A and B are shown apart, each in its own frame.
Chain A
Amino acid sequence: MSYNNQFTAETQLKVSPFFERTSKLNESQEWRRWSGYLAATNYELTHENEYFAIRTKAALLDITPLYKYIIEGPEAQRFLDRLVTRNIYICKVGQVMYTPWCDEYGKVIDDGTVQRLSEHKFRITSAEPNLEWLQYNATGMDLIISDDSVSTAALALQGPNSRVILNTTANDSLDSLKFFWMMDTKFGDIPVSISRTGYTGDLGFEIWLDPKDALSVWDLLLEKGNPYGITPTGLQALDIARIEAGLILLDVDYISSRHAIIEARKSSPYELGLGWAVKMQKKDFIGKQALQREVAGGSEWEFMGIEIQWSELENHYRNVGLAPRLPSTAWRTSTPLYYNQEQVGYATSGAWSPILKRYIALAHIKSPFAKEGTVLDFELKVEHYRKLTPAQIVKTPFFDPERKRSCPK
């Protein structure tokens, strides 16, 4: 039997329009799957330099695999306001809002950003496909939903030098672009949209462009960014940065209620630390009634940061004759948390923070035990044996630099 591959591109894993460049730059040839795309795990053999690019220079990430939908029409605003928990009526043209959206039981389906592109045109991003849910809820409304996932390519430029690089590349200055706002500009004659958003908790931007311009934009940014330390960056570095920023990840920190199968796997926005994004004063939105009941009765879970205490961790290793070991990359294995030997929660992702020099994790904790400052026991494996080691509940974000929100004077 011959194995000559006759499949059309549609049956393979997708490659982004930047693949021609990223595939050649990827020294490690390590790839992960992201929404059916090949996405670089790290470009170098270890992710460290890429992580520090996010925090000290500028990291360039291909984020094309994000799902993106365009909602356009006279009722687009009304539709989105009903769909998500944030108040879209106060979202101005050029503004971006991060928001979760829920099912009618108030359980989170997905989270992403809503960008207001014009009076009647919005873009919404998501981690999973949401076309079905959007279309269900748009029945009878005067708007058109189109899948923008493939028709728009996207890059993230994140890090303290990201603005200066864009200022030397774009025809307009980005100095006055505020956190969670966006603008249209051009790189020479290439039109791009730039939003001041990201998944790193640092100063950063996301660039939205026509896929046909992908390679030109990539080359231009690498050229202009070279003096400022621009670094193609993979998902491993990003994962550490997003944990430091306290940003949740679908299918790691929570499961979409559309796919949860059992009730216990579902979470409300309050149970994911997103209560701030639920605008109860809004007239109506999907899940509002259930969430009102939850507010009245209290949530079962809270989502908090924990910090695994250093000296006890060190002791565990010293007891077996080893120097302390730390995870070199972010982990995603659900890890039990105890209080007085009773399991009261579980951490869903964690990492050693190279910038904070702290061992941190994001955790679901039963509400009565979720007070800031409480010390829980974190399960740790030391030389094949399970140990409990103290971890203190702390606020997120763990890392929140002033530059994230500020504009140059």
Chain B
Amino acid sequence: MPEIKKYDAIVIGGGHNGLTAAAYLGQAGKKVLVLERRHVLGGAAVTEEVFPGFKFSVCSYVVSLMKPNVMRELMLPRFGLELLPLESTFTPLDNDYLLRTADGDQTYREIARHSAQDAETYMRFGPLMGQIGMAVRPILETIAPNAIRPTISDLSSGKKLLDHIKSLSSEQFEYLTKLMTMSSADFLDEWFEFEPLKATMSTSGIIGTFMGPRSPGSAYVMLHHYMGDIDGAFRAWGFQRGGTGAVSMAIARSAEHYGADIMTEAPVEKVIVKNGRAIGVALENGDEYGSNIVISGLDPKLSFLKLLDEHDLPSDFVQDIKHFRIRGSSGKVNLALDGLPNFTCLPGGGHHLRGAISISPSYDHLEKAYDDAKYGNFSQKPFMDIILPSVLDPDMAPPGKHVMSCFVQYAPYDINGGWDDHKREAFGDAVVNAIAEYAPNIKDIILHRQVLTPADLESIFGLTEGNIFHGELTLQQLFSLRPAVKWADYSTPVKNYYQCGSGTHPGGGITGSPGEMAAKKILGIW
């Protein structure tokens, strides 16, 4: 019987969702312990000085869906949350470019330079997606009802969902249905004609997902990313001052403010289960901690197949978790730079370096990159979502120097022959070469390069198969199916064992939402 120290709740994993759950439980007066395997907090939302003077948002690099009520309720601005706007999306092309900025007139003109009709359509598309996002949000924010064994509260939330869906206009319903079923390429083809615009918009349908823009289902992923919400403004992506690790630290400080204990370098070996109930955890070093409730912020594979013994779980549930799709599709390359990249199509500095730089000139470019991965190779010419954090926050690098964050897709976890040092460097070279096609000076200004393959994302951050969302955001594993059909309400087949990571509803991204909703669910039945 573990009795070193008795807690009300233990949270496994000091990622941003685990910390969020801990803060909410602490706020409600519960004594909480957070156990983090690594020496730093934040999980995938972490900032590290990998190269002296250069701070990298090593893994997760932008903040999109952080829930406004989480920010308010946990007083995150008081504890260091400072979100700077990412003001543009820049798609370099061979002899031209596409630049969308925060200004409607400027963006209209720029798109009209390529297609007058697209410029006009674009003005309607954003508000429409906002409306659809508004229609979907209540669905995302409702605790997924247990469809199989509904309780009274499941029935009432089910009815709320149904009423909400009934309240949608026929137009909203039409687009919602299309977004749920179509590929992002097909969906965007109904709206736009300029290929680089469509391709760049489609990328939010493939990020973190092992699909191409022409894969059915990718349109929903696109909508999911469209719902980025900062200060109530839809589709406003932000960069946290100090990197995404500073978001995690703000939540950690809030949790500590509410009395939570947080331990780093404390890897958990097992959840201790007795008579079908979780009663505590055992660390790898043999220490044991007892608690009334155990919550895992890890992905479903680790939460159930590693931290528990299979015989503690129903076999159909074990099968569901084994089938849960968590294929890693992306890598991350972080560069320390001696200066700024100089794009041939738009030389010098300017707005285009203050936002996202998207290497996505065409559907074919993206789909071919996917083809490489489909057959077990990393993309020779990958899709990339690049930001220059030091342009937004000069403290990220020494004066005059810069850091560049490259999200790279595709890099399959199951690469032919397995990942090794040689393949990692070849992958890094492919990335740098791809950037050099548009900004040839890149090779001369690299001071240091950190290449993270899906295998590295798994070993460093504990992301199974290197999947950044704790499981793909495709429709068959969302809502009441995330992560498994009867267990989408943060509870598990093991009594007093709960889950609060991105592998639960509503899914990945720096949202705080799974952590918040898990905590509220637990507090509701405590």
Contact = CB atoms under 8 A, between A and B. Distances in A.
Interface of A: 1-7, 10-14, 33, 35-36, 129-132, 135, 147, 258-259, 261, 263
Interface residues of B, number: 28
Given A5-B350, A132-B117, A147-B116, A11 B99 contact: yes
B194 to A, nearest CB: 13
Nearest to B121: A132
Interface of A is mostly: loop
Contact of B106 (A3, A11, A259): A11
Interface of B is mostly: helix
Given A7-B346, A11-B106, A259-B123, 11 more contacts: A1-B353, A1-B391, A3-B350, A4-B348, A6-B348, A6-B349, A11-B113, A12-B109, A132-B120, A132-B121, A258-B124
A94 B48 CA distance: 72
Interface of B: 99, 101, 105-106, 108-110, 112-113, 116-117, 119-121, 123-124, 127, 131, 169, 340, 346-351, 353, 391
Given A3-B349, A6-B348, A129 B120 contact: yes
A168 B124 CA distance: 46
Given A7-B350, A259-B123, A261-B131, A1 B110 contact: no
A35 B112 CA distance: 13
A1 B340 CA distance: 8
Given A1-B340, A132-B120, A135-B117, A10 B109 contact: yes
A36 B348 contact: no
A1 B388 CA distance: 12
A259 B130 CA distance: 12
Residue with the greatest number of chain B CB neighbours at <10 A, chosen from A3, A7, A14, A258: A7
A10 B108 CA distance: 10
A129 B122 CA distance: 12
Residue with the greatest number of chain A CB neighbours at <10 A, chosen from B116, B353, B391: B116
B105 A33 contact: yes
Contacts of A1: 340, 349, 353, 391
A174 to B, nearest CB: 34
Contact of B113 (A10, A33, A131, A259): A10
B411 to A, nearest CB: 30
Nearest to B117: A132
Given A6-B347, A135-B117, A11 B105 contact: no
A159 B349 CA distance: 48
B353 A36 contact: no
Contacts of B112: 10
A137 to B, nearest CB: 13
B107 to A, nearest CB: 9
Contacts of A3: 349-350
Nearest to B96: A8
A363 B340 CA distance: 54
Nearest to B348: A6
Contacts of B131: 261
Contact of B346 (A6, A14, A259): A6
B110 to A, nearest CB: 5
A161 B346 CA distance: 50
Contacts of B117: 131-132, 135
A1 to B, nearest CB: 5
A230 B278 CA distance: 87
Contacts of B105: 13, 33, 35-36
Contacts of B119: 129
13 contacts: A1-B340, A1-B349, A1-B353, A4-B349, A5-B350, A6-B346, A6-B348, A6-B349, A10-B113, A129-B119, A130-B120, A132-B117, A258-B124
Nearest to B390: A1
Contacts of B346: 6-7
Contacts of B101: 11
Contacts of A147: 116
A258 B123 CA distance: 10
A48 to B, nearest CB: 29
Contacts of B106: 11-13, 36
A6 B351 CA distance: 10
A129 B109 CA distance: 11
A131 B117 CA distance: 6
Nearest to B169: A263
B106 to A, nearest CB: 6
B274 to A, nearest CB: 56
Nearest to B394: A1
Residue with the greatest number of chain B CB neighbours at <10 A, chosen from A1, A4, A12, A129: A1
B414 to A, nearest CB: 41
B351 to A, nearest CB: 8
Nearest to B114: A10
Contact of A259 (B109, B116, B127, B353): B127
A14 B109 contact: yes
A319 B352 CA distance: 56
Contacts of B347: 6
A217 to B, nearest CB: 25
A5 B113 CA distance: 18
A131 B351 CA distance: 29
A7 B107 CA distance: 13
A263 B169 CA distance: 10
Nearest to A136: B117
A4 B124 CA distance: 33
A14 B117 CA distance: 18
